[in-house]
Structure 1
Amino acid sequence: MNARSLADFSLLQGLLEAVDVVVEVPGKTLLRAASARFAAGQVSAILGPNGAGKSTLMSVLTGQRRPGGGQVRLAGQTLSGYSPQDLARVRACVAQETQVAFEFTVREVVELGRYPHRGQSARHEAAIALQAMQATAVDHLADRPLNTLSGGEKARVHLARALAQVWEPVGERGGTISRWLLLDEPTAALDLQHQHRMLQLARDWARQQGVGVVAVLHDLNLALRYSDRCVVLQGGQLVASGVTAKVLTPACIHQVWGVVAHPVPGESEGPVLQYVFEPGRECTVRHPGIPLASSSLRG
């Protein structure tokens, strides 16, 4: 199939879909006919215990892995219908682990995000990398080699690179082509403050700029606070999807993660549902003096 023109993205704007996706490796099925729809302008969380298929689904959505069955569609067209450069101009990905073989500085890594736009530079091209670094609070590290940074600092640098990649709308009519951020466990290496800062930033981009954000998350309370919708995977199957606060009920959490969730109503920004967790009956190890929190979640 010939690569489709970038202008044709607008035919079915704002949708990223996995349709009956199957992923198999020798001796195991990683995803079983999984279907999910993600909308631009929202933060969508991919949730589930370890080994549920979260990162597998993300790798299919990013095009890094081809499914054995089913397909992924962006704006109604399969990913193979677009050229790699066109996809890179509207969709940026942050993997769990990204190795950089050379001694690139932070600034150089973030500037790589602008590579797909070569020849079609933005009006404020020179300032984009700096603004992206400022957005993720790594501008003070701009001249440091990336490989000298901590894991959390590297994660923020790669988010800045992804932001720079989709910094401005692309298209002849301006703003007509939805942009996407696909984030695989973006908070895993971050401290508590930066977990909230990263997801608040993602939510702001979704709400204010119409960017579609899809993130694999482990912390259910972070998903409740920052995601609009979620999909829940268990054993390679999609078992629930919808508005996050309606999907993540105590019954769902107990069934999928095997822990007991106690709702704690929030007081800021209206009734934000949050939970404290305790192990299920099969998990009897308790540490005296340590209050139960979301970190008690197993899986």
Structure 2
Amino acid sequence: MNARTLTDFSTLTGRLEAVDVVVALPGKTLLQGVSAQFSAGQVTAILGPNGAGKSTLMAVLSGQRQPSSGEVCLAGQTLAAHTLADLARVRACVAQETQVAFEFTVREVVELGRYPHRRQPSRHEAAIVLQAMQATQVDHLAERALNTLSGGEKARAHLARALAQVWDNVGDHSARWLLLDEPTAALDLQHQHRMLQLARDWACEQGVGVVAVLHDLNLALRYSERCVVLQGGQVVASGLTPKVLTPACIAKVWGVHAQAVPALGGLAHRLQYVFEPV
């Protein structure tokens, strides 16, 4: 069974939005009045140099960290207005580092993604788990203990778990969300592209809203429609990715010179850069 393909994403409800979010610690402010909107059917990249606040913003969007002020809204309501059970049925998160305390197999980890649907299970539960593993190319590792895998294999297994969690629409036209914090960090080049192409396919073909923290600007240019650029805990640019990631923006935020080069693989319409120190 494949997740149902949607043709009219305008019928989906559930825009994810950060409104004037502040995250402050004693002596340090991690986010300063951050506002950003994320839409279903798109890949949005959260970008910025180290320490810009990318993972902090992702933690606030996922509800793992409470803002000092401001709020995160989903479908026009604050996250606190939604039950955790309802959120879990439409939103899946993949953190930078996820520790598993027990010797769960890959299959068991991916099956955990179906736990929020236990009261109204699909007729195809086993098939969903298998196809989620196949989508991230970990099906051959199904009976391996997760803690015996490489970092990249673990990352792909956790993505399979997230896919399984939001595999189906829940029947009320709510948008589904994948929140990915540095999903390519542990992956080799091939799997970086495979993972982001998979995320893009889910966004474009099924209307899933994908929000991903990325470091590689060329990956963002290739796979994201929109981006939010953070610097010093503030939004310094947002909008369509190729219009935001200009050489001037890159020089200002990252301190490197960006020179456009022809894209490979029939992607001449897509921008990509080589980088040199300013």
- Counterpart check, 1:253 vs 2:250: yes
Q: What is the SS of the residue equivalent to 1:32?
A: strand
- What SS class does the counterpart of residue 276 from structure 2 fall into? strand
Amino acid aligned to 1:79: L
The structure with more radius of gyration: 1
- 1:130 match: secondary structure: helix
1:276 aligns with 2:274: yes
Which runs of 5 or more structure 1 residues have no equivalent in the other structure?
A: 1-9, 281-299
Correspondence for 2:197:
200
| In 2: Cα distance, 1:177 partner to 1:187 partner | 27
Q: Secondary structure at the match of 1:101?
A: coil
Paired residues in the alignment total: 268
Tell me the secondary structure at the aligned position of residue 60 of structure 2. helix
CA positional deviation for 1:12: 8.1
The alpha carbon displacement at 1:269 in A equals 3.5
Secondary structure of the residue aligned to 2:96 is coil
SS at match of 2:45: strand
What corresponds to 2:89 in structure 1? Answer: 89
Alignment of 1:141-220 (within 5 A): 141-172=141-172, 176-220=173-217
- After superposing on structure 2, the runs of 4+ consecutive aligned residues of structure 1 that deviate more than 6 Å are none
Q: Alignment partner for residue 236 of structure 1, among 229, 233, 237?
A: 233
The equivalent residue for 1:103 is 103
Counterpart contact for 2:92–2:166, Cα < 8 Å: yes
The residue identity in structure 1 corresponding to 2:200 is R
Greater shift after overlay, 240-249 or 13-22?
13-22
Which amino acid is the alignment partner of residue 101 of structure 2? A
1:12, 1:76 within 8 Å by CA — same for their partners in 2? no
Whole-Å Cα distance in 2 between the matches of residues 167 and 134 of structure 1?
13
2:55 aligned counterpart, secondary structure? helix
Name the counterpart of 2:6: none
Hey, what's the Cα distance between the residues in 1 that align with 2:213 and 2:91?
16
Question: Residues 90-109 of structure 1: CA distance to partner in whole angstroms, max 9, x if unpaired?
Answer: 00000000000000000000
In 2: Cα distance, 1:111 partner to 1:26 partner: 40
Is the 1:11–1:75 contact (alpha carbons within 8 Å) kept by the matching residues of 2? no
Q: CA RMSD in A?
A: 1.3
Deviation at 1:125, TM superposition (A): 1.3
Q: State the AA in 1 paired with 2:253.
A: V
The offset of 1:270, in angstroms, is 4.1
Shift in Å at residue 123 of structure 1?
Answer: 2.2
Preserved CA contact (<8 Å) 1:14 1:212: no
1:6 alignment partner in structure 2: none
Q: What TM-score does the superposition give when structure 1 sets the normalisation length?
A: 0.88
> Amino acid of the residue matched to residue 133 of structure 2?
M
For residues 11 and 53 of structure 2, the distance between their equivalents in structure 1, rounded to whole angstroms, comes to 30
Q: Name the TM-score, length of structure 2 as normaliser.
A: 0.94
Unaligned runs of 5+ in 2: 1-9
The answer on whether the counterparts of 1:183 and 1:214 sit within 8 Å (CA) in structure 2 is yes
Structure 1: distance between partners of 2:222 and 2:151:
24
Q: Which letter does structure 2 place at the counterpart of 1:70?
A: G
C-alpha distance in 2, partners of 1:277/1:190? 21
Q: Give the match for residue 286 of structure 1.
A: none
* 1:98-143 Cα distance to aligned partner (Å, 9 max, x none): 0000000000000000000001001211211100000000000000
